[in-house]
Amino acid sequence: MLDVRALSAGYPGRPVLAAVDLHVDRGEVLALIGPNGCGKTTLLRAISGVLPFGGGTIALDGDDIRTMRAEVLARRVAVVAQASALPPRFTASDVVMMGRSPHLRLLQWEGRRDGRIVRSAMQRAGCWSLRDRLVDELSGGERQRVIIARALAQQPALLLLDEPTSHLDVQHQVETFRLMRDLCAGDGLAVVAVVHDLTLAALFGDRIALLADGRNVATGTPAEVLRAERIEAVYGVSVRVLPHPVSGRPVVVPEAPGAGERAGEALR
């Protein structure tokens, strides 16, 4: 579905990505991890067409995104950005309806079908009860669910999420990732999500791509990528990787301060 080949991208005077390869199939959640500043957001911006890139290719179902008109790309790719600004004094349902814009002709009004799609998107994102609330009166978590619903209303084939659970409590973090998995399984959606919580990435990602210094240093299943020595090398912190008691997937636990000294004392 998504093929990124030898991608190089960045900003004037500041290269960020160098020869990055990435592939995502329909029905798959790819968790994108890596330390701050490694290029995760830059990669999403290049895939979405917002950031021009200098080298390599990005293709959707074999179509080079550089040959697509902006409205065509917007029908196929939806983005939940890290800090999405919402227009004040609009209701939540008004904001989600904006996700239908790529599907409407110039000056065309929304119809009943658009209304049904908006309602479905808000129900799936868990924010239908907020439909008549003004977005500038919503909490950070509520706003994030509205932003996710707006992306779903686009009915994309590829969904890009930049830290989608950063403002959510534990319940809504889990619900958001379960929604991503349901969309992949039921709608054949492809999802690329930047995730800082390595355990959440392992629990809900089909595969994980680890970026470091603008390069893709490892891609594979959670068990293949999340190895203690690799995490320590990339993040500079000592961790233990344990199997989840139910799923068997990796659980990444930072070493407690002084754990090594206490272990040594116990052996003496």
Mean pLDDT of 113-130: 95
Comparing 60-69, 175-184, 198-207, 212-221, the range with the smallest average pLDDT is 175-184
More confident residue, 6 or 139: 6
Residues 6+ apart with CB under 8 A from 3: 22, 23, 57, 58, 59, 62
Picking from 166, 165, 66, the residue whose alpha carbon sits closest to that of residue 125 is 165
- Model pLDDT, residue 105: 77
Sign of CA dihedral 216, 180, 50, 13: negative
pLDDT band at 267 (very low <50, low <70, confident <90, very high): very low
Name the band, by pLDDT with cuts 50, 70 and 90, for residue 109. Answer: confident
- The pLDDT value given to residue 259: 58
In the predicted structure, residue 173 carries a pLDDT above the cut 90? no
pLDDT of residue 68: 94
pLDDT at 144 over 90: no
**pLDDT on residue 165:** 83
Q: How far apart are CA 250 and CA 224, in angstroms?
A: 10
49-58, 75-84, 126-135: segment of lowest average pLDDT: 75-84
- Quick one: tokens of 182? 């349901």
Of 127, 114, 192, the C-alpha closest to 154 is 114
Q: Is residue 83's pLDDT more than 70? A: no
Mapping DSSP onto H, E and C, the string for the chain reads: CEEEEEEEEEECCEEEEEEEEEEECCCCEEEEECCCCCCHHHHHHHHCCCCCCCEEEEEECCEEHHHCCHHHHHHHEEEECCCCCCCCCCEHHHHHHHHHHHHCCCCCCCCHHHHHHHHHHHHHCCCHHHCCCEHHHCCHHHHHHHHHHHHHHCCCCEEEEECCCCCCCHHHHHHHHHHHHHHHHHHCCEEEEECCCHHHHHHHCCEEEEEECCEEEEEECHHHHCCHHHHHHHHCCCEEEEECCCCCCEEEEECCCCHHHHHHHHHC
pTM of the model: 0.91
Structure-model confidence comparison of residues 59 and 174, the more confident one: 59
Q: What is the pLDDT of residue 127?
A: 94
Task: Return the pLDDT at 90.
Answer: 95
Residue 260 pLDDT exceeds 70: no
Mean pLDDT of all residues in 182-188: 89
Tell me if 48 sits within 8 A of 161, measured CB to CB.
no
Q: What is the pLDDT of residue 251?
A: 97
Arithmetic mean of pLDDT over the chain: 92
Q: Which amino acid is at 16?
A: V
Q: What is the mean pLDDT of residues 26-38?
A: 96
How deeply is 178 buried, as exposed, middle or buried, from its count of CB atoms within 10 A (0-12, 13-18, 19+)? exposed
* pLDDT tops 50 at residue 163: yes
CA torsion sign for 147, 51, 194, 168 is negative
Q: What is the pLDDT of residues 47-63, one digit of tens each?
A: 999 999 989 999 999 99
* Cα three-residue angle 145-162-9, rounded to 5 degrees: 155
Please report, rounded to a whole number, the percentage of residues in the chain having pLDDT higher than 90.
76
The answer to whether the CB of 210 falls within 8 A of the CB of 216 is: yes
- List pLDDT tens digits, range 212-225: 999 999 999 999 99
Is residue 225 a contact partner of residue 201, using CB atoms and an 8 Å limit? no
Question: Which is more confidently placed, 268 or 225?
Answer: 225
Q: What domains sit in the chain, N to C, each tagged with a CATH number?
A: 2-221 (3.40.50.300)
What amino acid occupies position 171?
A: Q
